[in-house]
Chains A and B, each alone.
Chain A
Amino acid sequence: MLSLDLFLRLNYLASIMLFLIGLHTMLTHANLIKKVMGMNIMETGIFLFLVSIGYAHGTLSPIIRQSGPEQGLIYTNPLLAAIVLTGIVIAVSTTAYALSIIIKLYEQCGTLDVDRLEKLRS
């Protein structure tokens, strides 16, 4: 029973793991591109989490039907899908902006390594 329970909630476990992997990549890797990738992995983890809490097994898509046998059934929460969409927009713009700064830094310094940038600076 426990294994079934865990299997049904695998998405929660996966989202937290993605979050931690992303965070770890962001904070420990010296390469700027890898940091941005870590940021994206972390955000994907959060989005998976958000979508998971709005979904339960056997729920319907949140569209109101004129007639049909669905009376009394539960709908998936559409609010979280909207939130995830907004979150994705923010994540995309952050990524685009971060990559554009990285390009400029690479043009000026010729390196993507944080430690070397730090040395160039001082």
Chain B
Amino acid sequence: MDHLAVLLTVIPLSGAFFVPMFGREGDRGYRVALGTVLLTTACAAALLVITGRGQAISYYVGNWAPPWGIEIRVDAFSAFLSFSFSLVYLAVIAYSARDVSHELNPAALRWYWSLMLLLLAGLLGVSSAADLFNLFVFTEIYSLAACGIISVRDRMDSLEAALKYLLLSAVAAGCILLGISLIYMVTGHLNYAHLATALPAAVATSPRTVLAAVALLATGFGLKSALFPLHMWLPDAHSSALSPASAVLSGIAVKAGIIALFRLFASVLSASPAVVRAMPTFLAVLAVGGMIFGALFAMTQTDLKRMLAYSTVVQVGYIYLAFSVLNPVALTGAILHIVNHALLKGMLFLSAGLIIHRTGKRRIADLQGIGREMPLTMIALTIGAMGMVGIPLTNGFVSKWHMVLGSLEAGQPLAAGVILLSSLFSALYYFPLVIAGWFGNPAAPAPARPEAPPSMLWPVLGLGAVSLILGIVPEPVVNVLGEAAKHLLGQ
């Protein structure tokens, strides 16, 4: 059973290799990709069941134990994230079958499937890595794959966005690698568990080196996860990619940096409180900046996908802010929000993709009365918008509720206030969209068959159904995550 931990990354990695080999003709590439993601989801589900019983799986690659061997560790936190990410991936892959083949030529299509699987492998690798260098390698795998997915479209704006993303993520990679080497220099370990025991002594002898390393790591992963003010690559990258690719990039890929930082804090830095104390305040300030400026930018956007991309900057701010109060309840909210945002933003980008696919409209102003032409798509868009704002009965409400509750419990009413205020801001840019979509007057009469084909529609509605279920019966998930959050904070 322990092999499941490594299979979680090996399956998508080998899928990415097999797609260009076997997916040369027809929709075979799609079938290989779908099969791979189904297998990955099954693997993640099995891991979720095993780790749900409270035991984490440590897998030693090549049977060499740390500190020399590579350890892969899957606990409830990473199993839950892997499972929900694979679920979103399933919907996105199923959706892509019809949408992407219009946009790409057959040769590029093959690489699209391959890159999508490579991205999944990198993301799952980041969430299950248990040593710093493995973390770095998987971070690079997913970053390069993400750039590739953007540039696969081969248009000027996509290419430019991909290059901008690539160069900035190379800066981030440089910071991360330098941070890792500084930590290795003072402790002599890369494995998380060994680092946690060696770090307090290192902090005592060379506190500045450790602080510089932590700062470099935070900068690197902050850039990868679009923490304000390092978010400038995100709107271009996520709005110029293909819609299903945007759904994955914005919903999932951005979270990898957050997951990496969570893990580092939880399993390494919590052992040396002196270093940790400075960081959350710093992260909180940046998070609040992201929540305010991201919302302001989102309000001024005229392009639907750009607006959604800026909204991602805001949501990343939420997650960092809830993390920075270092309270188990708020951390539960933060982890839940990682998943909720993946579901909701995935659904929003896919419904935007449906609208663009059927009508070619990208501008928010052109979406007047689109609900009469495409009611099912608009329902999905509405669920997504409600979830983002945090209306009760949606999953967005549950995570925001826990964030606010946790902040109050930790004695930080200011953080709770900012979260509530930012929800109000979200309403200011999501509600006009919903109101115009349902009640606006369309400029031209509706075409005869406007709604998208069912094969594209059901993945979107499926994500919506999962979001609603998570919103109405959140207790089982919250209980599991509550345990995971306590474990992460070392309580």
Q: A50-B181, A94-B166 are in contact. Are A104 and B174 (CB under 8 A)?
A: no
A86 at the interface (CB under 8 A from B): yes
Q: Which residue of A lies closest to B133 (CB)?
A: A83
Q: Which of A90-122 contact B (CB under 8 A)?
A: 90, 93-94, 97-98, 101-102, 104-105, 108-109, 117, 120-121
B163 at the interface (CB under 8 A from A): yes
Is the Cβ of B170 less than 8 Å from the Cβ of A101?
no
How many Å from the CB of B470 to the closest CB on chain A? 37
Is the Cβ of B140 less than 8 Å from the Cβ of A90?
yes
Is the Cβ of B177 less than 8 Å from the Cβ of A39?
no
Which of A23, A36, A102, A104 touches B154 (beta carbons < 8 Å)? A104
Q: Which of A18-48 contact B (CB under 8 A)?
A: 19, 22-23, 26-27, 32, 35-36, 39, 42-43, 46
Q: Which residue of B lies closest to A49 (CB)?
A: B181
Q: A46-B174, A121-B156 are in contact. Are A105 and B181 (CB under 8 A)?
A: no
Interface of chain A: mostly helix, strand, loop or mixed: helix
Q: A98-B166, A104-B159, A109-B156 are in contact. Are A49 and B178 (CB under 8 A)?
A: yes
B148 at the interface (CB under 8 A from A): yes
Complex Cα spacing A36 to B184, Å? 27
Please, which residues of chain B bring their CB within 8 A of the CB of A22?
A: 174
The number of residue pairs between A and B whose CB atoms lie closer than 8 Å in the complex comes to: 77
A13 at the interface (CB under 8 A from B): no
Is the Cβ of B166 less than 8 Å from the Cβ of A97?
yes
A17 at the interface (CB under 8 A from B): no
Please, which residues of chain A bring their CB within 8 A of the CB of B173?
A: 90, 94
Which of B157, B174, B181 touches A23 (beta carbons < 8 Å)? B174
How many Å from the CB of A31 to the closest CB on chain B? 12
Is the Cβ of B170 less than 8 Å from the Cβ of A94?
yes
Please, which residues of chain A bring their CB within 8 A of the CB of B185?
A: 53
Which of A53, A86, A94, A121 gathers most chain B CB within 10 Å?
A94
Which of A39, A49, A94, A105 touches B144 (beta carbons < 8 Å)? A94
Is the Cβ of A23 less than 8 Å from the Cβ of B148?
no
B36 at the interface (CB under 8 A from A): no
B171 at the interface (CB under 8 A from A): yes
Complex Cα spacing A39 to B166, Å? 10
Please, which residues of chain B bring their CB within 8 A of the CB of A36?
A: 167
Complex Cα spacing A69 to B257, Å? 49
Please, which residues of chain A bring their CB within 8 A of the CB of B133?
A: 83, 86
Q: Which residue of B lies closest to A27 (CB)?
A: B171
Q: Which residue of B lies closest to A16 (CB)?
A: B178
Is the Cβ of A32 less than 8 Å from the Cβ of B174?
no
B374 at the interface (CB under 8 A from A): no
Please, which residues of chain B bring their CB within 8 A of the CB of A43?
A: 170, 174
Q: Which residue of B lies closest to A51 (CB)?
A: B181
Which of B137, B163, B171, B184 touches A105 (beta carbons < 8 Å)? B163
Is the Cβ of A117 less than 8 Å from the Cβ of B137?
no
Which of B133, B166, B170 gathers most chain A CB within 10 Å?
B170
Complex Cα spacing A19 to B176, Å? 13
B366 at the interface (CB under 8 A from A): no
Q: Which residue of B lies closest to A39 (CB)?
A: B170
B162 at the interface (CB under 8 A from A): yes
Is the Cβ of A42 less than 8 Å from the Cβ of B184?
no
Q: Which of B377-411 contact A (CB under 8 A)?
A: none
Which of B154, B166, B181 gathers most chain A CB within 10 Å?
B181
B160 at the interface (CB under 8 A from A): yes
Is the Cβ of A120 less than 8 Å from the Cβ of B156?
yes
14 example contacts (A-B, Cβ-Cβ < 8 A) are as follows A22-B174, A27-B171, A35-B167, A39-B167, A43-B170, A43-B174, A83-B181, A97-B147, A98-B167, A101-B163, A101-B166, A105-B160, A108-B159, A121-B160
Interface set of B (CB-CB < 8 Å, partner A): 133, 137, 140, 144, 147-148, 151, 154, 156-157, 159-160, 162-163, 166-167, 170-171, 173-174, 177-178, 181, 184-185
